[in-house]
């Protein structure tokens, strides 16, 4: 039995569906009015209406942190370098998009 209820029903890896390393239990929410809950990476991406670059950078940061700090990772996950490189790449895309949008503002 796990300390993290989000892990109790672990889906098979490589299904294309939601898997345990994209869920985390928030035991003590910042807002005292909120009960503990399970946060899902994709739900946050959609709720914040992130664009493609933002969503991919966020997902890579989530994966890296979940692997390093909670031991939650896909089978064969190594050292987090791949995710760090994805953050760098998609961060560059976000900078380019911001500059492009700045140039097209009235």
Between 91 and 104, the more confident residue is 91
- The residue segments making up the domain with residue 56 are 5-104
Q: Total domain count for the chain?
A: 1
Q: What is the mean pLDDT of residues 69-88?
A: 92
Tell me the CA end-to-end span of the chain in Å, nearest whole number.
Answer: 57
Give the list of residues 6+ apart from residue 54 with CB closer than 8 angstroms, or none: 45, 48, 90, 94
| Res 15 pLDDT > 80 | no
> In this structure, what are the phi and psi dihedrals at residue 39, rounded to the nearest 5 degrees?
-95, 140
Contact 39/27 with Cβ under 8 angstroms?
Answer: no
Q: Which of 62, 45, 60, 57 is nearest to 92 (CA)?
A: 57
Average pLDDT in the 61-89 region? 93
Query: What pLDDT digit, counting tens, does each position of 25-60 carry?
Result: 999 999 999 999 999 999 999 999 999 999 999 999
Q: What is the pTM of this model?
A: 0.78
Whether residue 88 is predicted with pLDDT greater than 60 in this model: the reply is yes
Which residue bears the tokens 């664009």? 51
């Amino acid at each position: 039995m796990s300390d993290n209820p989000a892990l109790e029903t672990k889906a098979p890896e490589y299904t294309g569906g939601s898997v345990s390393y994209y869920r985390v239990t928030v035991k003590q929410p910042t807002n005292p009015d909120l009960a503990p809950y399970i946060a899902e990476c994709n739900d946050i991406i959609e709720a914040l209406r992130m664009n493609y670059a933002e969503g991919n950078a966020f997902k890579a940061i989530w994966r890296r942190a979940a692997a390093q700090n909670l031991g939650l990772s896909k089978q064969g996950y190594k050292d987090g370098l791949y995710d760090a490189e994805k953050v760098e790449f998609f961060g560059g895309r976000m900078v380019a998009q911001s500059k492009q949008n700045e140039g097209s503002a009235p």
